[in-house]
Amino acid sequence: MAQSTIQSVEATPIAIPLTKPIASSLGVYSHATGVAVTVRTVDGPDGFGFNLGLGGSPSRALAAYLEDELAPLAIGQDALAVEALWERMWSPNKPRVRAGLGAWALSAIDVAVWDIVGKTAGLPVHTLLGGARTEVPVYGSGGWLSLTDDELVSEAQAFASRGINQYKYKIGTARDEERTALLRRELGDDFTLYADANQRFRVHEAIEAAYMLDGYGVAWLEEPVLADCASDLRAVAEASPVPIATGENVSFRWGFREICEQRGAAYLQPDVVRCGGFTEFRKIADLADAHNLAVTSHLWHELSVSAVGASPAGVLVEFAELIPADVFTRDFSPVGGATRMIDVPGHGVEIAAETIARYRV
């Protein structure tokens, strides 16, 4: 029976400068911060995982938690037994891995473990997860509140020039309708728009925003209210003429199960490096499929394409060019409005050792 014993788990705190400062209703960002993880095995290949997010300085805390709490539970275990390993790390850490940094740390290890499984099997992770398709459509993501009107339109048009005729922009200011009208006027009626509120509104405000957005044919309203409250999401979804999307700040299958049962969203958007890794993402995708909901993703299309593309419920991948193009060793840029799976063993996403060293904090 094949086995791949984990020898060590190495976590490096990193902060990668964004290509330009950006702002949403949550704040202003200059770096993507997180941790790069290498899981080494005694008798098999190594695996790579990472977590990156916007805002705050969690990198060192993530690395410390990962090495002090999770790594000792993983070392000596079989990396190919992904479910057993996931439960082993999660179970004693339930109080600390409910969400936030604990969930992010667990996700990074899980991503690396699936990389090992794929390399051992000689198969891409997307095939191991289900292999529903070989490419996934993308939508261009940006529209930051820090952009001028000209920059906003130029960014959307730049995506369109690459065959990406779907674009997500930020809302949450007094100029929401003005910016929405501008995009619709300049991009035309055949261009798909999505609006992201980043948890900015209360229920009644979200419903008002939804009616405004519906007047301009916007295709979804993302994170209209606090991500922690599925009943508020349901209240918005019941009254909104625009479909609701959410999930980037929801951890594990149980959080998504509540949203599904409450019918709080039409689109689920798990983040593979936050929600519990590939192990949890596939369970969330199965939940969506069982409830006739659609699955998209949050950021890091390089990894997300494998998870979204593996599920029959997968429909879209978010494509945001936040960090320098040379951070990852392979190019996952979309062509003709879609990102293709890279046909290599594992998930194919790596950051070179010298690049990790360059961005270490």
Task: Report the distance separating Cα 238 and Cα 266, nearest Å.
Answer: 11
Q: CA-CA distance, 142 to 154, in Å (whole number)?
A: 11
- Ramachandran assignment for 155, one of left (phi > 0), alpha (psi -120 to 50 degrees), beta (any other): alpha
For residue 345, being part of any structural domain is answered with: no
Q: What is the pLDDT of residue 332?
A: 93
Q: What is the pLDDT of residue 270?
A: 97
Which domain CATH number covers 131?
3.20.20.120
- Amino acid at position 231, single letter: S
Q: Which residues are CB-contacts of 97 (< 8 A; sequence separation ≥ 6)?
A: 89, 90, 103, 105, 106
In this predicted structure, what is the pLDDT of residue 228?
Answer: 86
Distance from C-alpha of 245 to C-alpha of 153, rounded to nearest angstrom: 23
Same-domain status, 117 and 149: no
Same domain, 75 and 159: no
Supply the pLDDT for residue 336: 92
The span from the CA of 218 to the CA of 195, in Å, is 7
Task: Give dist(CA 100, CA 245) in Å, integer.
Answer: 20
What per-residue confidence (pLDDT) applies to 1? Answer: 57
d(CA 39, CA 335): 32
Total number of domains constituting the chain: 2
- DSSP for 144-174? -TTS-HHHHHHHHHHHHHTT--EEEEE--ST
Predicted confidence at residue 254, as pLDDT, reads 94
Residues 72 and 205 in one domain: no
| pLDDT at position 325 | 86
Domain identity same for 34 and 142? no
Structure tokens at 239: 């009254």
Q: Does residue 192 sit in the same domain as residue 292?
A: yes
Q: Any idea which residue has 């990074």 for tokens?
A: 108
In a domain, 347, yes or no: no
- Both tokens of 45, joined, read 């290949």
> Do 303 and 270 belong together in one domain?
yes
Distance CA 103, CA 65 (A): 11
Q: How many CB atoms lie within 10 A of CB 122?
A: 9
pLDDT tens for the 361 residues of the chain, in order: 578 999 999 999 999 999 889 989 888 999 999 999 999 999 899 999 999 999 889 999 999 999 999 999 999 999 999 999 999 999 998 888 888 899 999 999 999 999 999 999 999 999 999 999 999 999 999 999 999 999 999 999 999 999 999 999 999 999 999 999 999 999 999 999 999 999 999 999 999 999 999 999 999 999 999 998 999 999 999 999 999 999 999 999 999 999 999 999 999 999 999 999 999 999 999 999 999 999 999 999 999 999 999 999 999 999 999 999 899 999 999 999 999 998 999 999 999 999 999 999 9
pTM for the model stands at 0.96
Question: What angle is formed at CA 266 by the lines to CA 164 and CA 142, rounded to 5 degrees?
Answer: 35
pLDDT at position 197 is 98
Q: How many CB atoms lie within 10 A of CB 94?
A: 9
Identify whether 252 is part of a domain: yes
- Domain of residue 96: give its range: 6-122+352-358
CB proximity list for 64: less than 8 A, separation 6 or greater? none
Cα(78)–Cα(41) distance, integer angstroms = 9
* CA neighbor of 18 nearest in space, from 326, 350, 321, 361: 321
Same domain, 116 and 146: no
